[in-house]
A and B are shown apart, each in its own frame.
Chain A
Amino acid sequence: MATTSISFAESSLLNLVLRRADDALILGHRLSEWCGHAPMVEEDIALANIALDLVGQARSLYGYAALVEGSGLTEDHFAYRREQHQYRNCLLVEQPNGDFAATIVRQVLFSAFMDLYWREMMTSRDKALAAMAGKAEKETAYHLRHSGEWLIRLGDGTDDSHERAQTALDELWVYTGELFEADDIERGLAQSGVAPDVLSLEGSWNQRLAPILREARLEIPQAPFMQSGGRSGRHSEHVGYILADLQYLQRTHPEAVW
């Protein structure tokens, strides 16, 4: 049977663009799962809005990936027609929504990283990436503010909300190391002024989180080790379920358009 998967050569730049695009798409998809289920209508709208921003960022990034790849593939091919091992997102964003506390903790950890990342990307030598960063930076700052305020309310709230927030933080912390993993691709593009040096963002990230966690009365976990693998396509089983949902239409009716 013929495959509907695309094949392409993955340059360093393409790989890096797909990391950012896949992070945004997978987290956007996760957040959209809350639609109609959030604890209150305002939060339902908020999570859907954040999802919309992320899917919008993913679209710009996939469009650029298609341009970089250059053989005529489109944003939809990259979003819907790759195999699981070709997705470059970090493990943090694919984690299930869990309870509301887990969703908020995941959002704070990721947004605090992306806020720093996009702000540095604004001075990239790559004009297309710098332009996308200029838009994404404002949106990401707003996501961090929103999720950060929620985390303070949950951590400094009732015994139950505090315990749920701390449990979520303990469980998700092991996925944060991967955000700062500088492999040859990240290092090479950082050296040539195309992308921020992720390793150098870790200190600022800890500084951004510290006051939020302090106000939320949450303890920073001491993780004995950090999980890793997403950037090289070694994902948890969750991604298979996400892709089954996300890709269904394009796999069943390849090239379908609205």
Chain B
Amino acid sequence: MSALTELECHQDELVARAREAVAQVRDPEIPVLTIADLGVLRSIDVATDGTVKVAITPTYSGCPAIDVIGFDIKMALAKAGFCNAHVRQVLSPAWTTDWMSETGKAKLKAYGIAPPAGHASRRALFGEESIVCPHCGSSNTERVSEFGSTACKALWRCKACREPFDYFKCI
């Protein structure tokens, strides 16, 4: 094996290790979801000097979790042996709930938060929504408030099991 290919192999392995560490970082406000599940993690590169460059995208402009996520990424990388990390925020293309993985949606439901229904569009944002209760599965639900405990959620109530629940807004 030539020196160059060896170096490339090593580089791929480093990126994979860095990715593994970063992908495990959790959303501080919805700790069942990793930033990979959420689609917040956009890219990871390892420079030749070993600096890890991570790009993340905020869910909402004012999402206060984004700074904590950046800090947690650096911590996770340090634990995995990457001492130099640079976390950058990218805005374009704008984050959408369509980037949430199916695993992420299943985890949300199990956690008691109704996952975003359907695909993001202006119609999804403004049209009539039919949201399934994450507790009992009934679609006999009603919206209590368009805004919830975090920017990404709305407050709903199930008319079948009478439980209130959070709904992850589809944007």
Chain A interface (Cβ < 8 Å from any Cβ of B): 42-43, 45-46, 48-50, 52-57, 59-60, 127, 130-132, 134-139, 141-142, 145-146
Contacts of A142 in B (CB 8 A): 125, 146, 169, 171
Number of A-B contacts (CB under 8 A): 75
Question: With the chains together, A137 CA to B148 CA distance in Å?
Answer: 20
Contacts of B155 in A (CB 8 A): 42, 45
- Complex A-B: 13 CB contacts under 8 Å: A45-B148, A45-B155, A46-B147, A48-B147, A49-B151, A52-B62, A54-B62, A56-B62, A56-B63, A57-B62, A135-B91, A137-B94, A145-B126
B61 touches A127 (CB 8 A): no
Question: With the chains together, A43 CA to B151 CA distance in Å?
Answer: 14
Question: With the chains together, A163 CA to B125 CA distance in Å?
Answer: 31
Query: What secondary structure prevails in chain B residues at the interface with A?
Result: loop
B60 contacts chain A at the CB level, 8 A cutoff: yes
Rounded to whole Å, the gap between the CB of A258 and the closest CB of chain B is 10
Rounded to whole Å, the gap between the CB of A231 and the closest CB of chain B is 23
Contacts of B93 in A (CB 8 A): 134
Given A131-B92, A135-B94, A141-B126, is A146 in contact with B61 using a C-beta cutoff of 8 Å?
no
For window 94-132 of chain B, which residues contact chain A by CB distance below 8 Å? 94-95, 122, 125-126
A49 touches B91 (CB 8 A): no
Question: With the chains together, A60 CA to B63 CA distance in Å?
Answer: 12
Q: Which residue of B lies closest to A137 (CB)?
A: B94
Rounded to whole Å, the gap between the CB of A68 and the closest CB of chain B is 16
B64 contacts chain A at the CB level, 8 A cutoff: yes
Rounded to whole Å, the gap between the CB of B68 and the closest CB of chain A is 12
A134 touches B146 (CB 8 A): no
Given A42-B155, A46-B145, A49-B151, is A59 in contact with B61 using a C-beta cutoff of 8 Å?
yes
For window 5-62 of chain B, which residues contact chain A by CB distance below 8 Å? 58, 60-62
For window 125-144 of chain B, which residues contact chain A by CB distance below 8 Å? 125-126, 144
Contacts of B144 in A (CB 8 A): 42
**Extra contacts besides A54-B62, A134-B91, A135-B91 (16): CB < 8 Å:** A42-B144, A42-B145, A52-B60, A56-B63, A59-B61, A59-B62, A135-B58, A135-B95, A138-B94, A138-B171, A139-B60, A141-B125, A142-B125, A142-B171, A145-B126, A145-B146
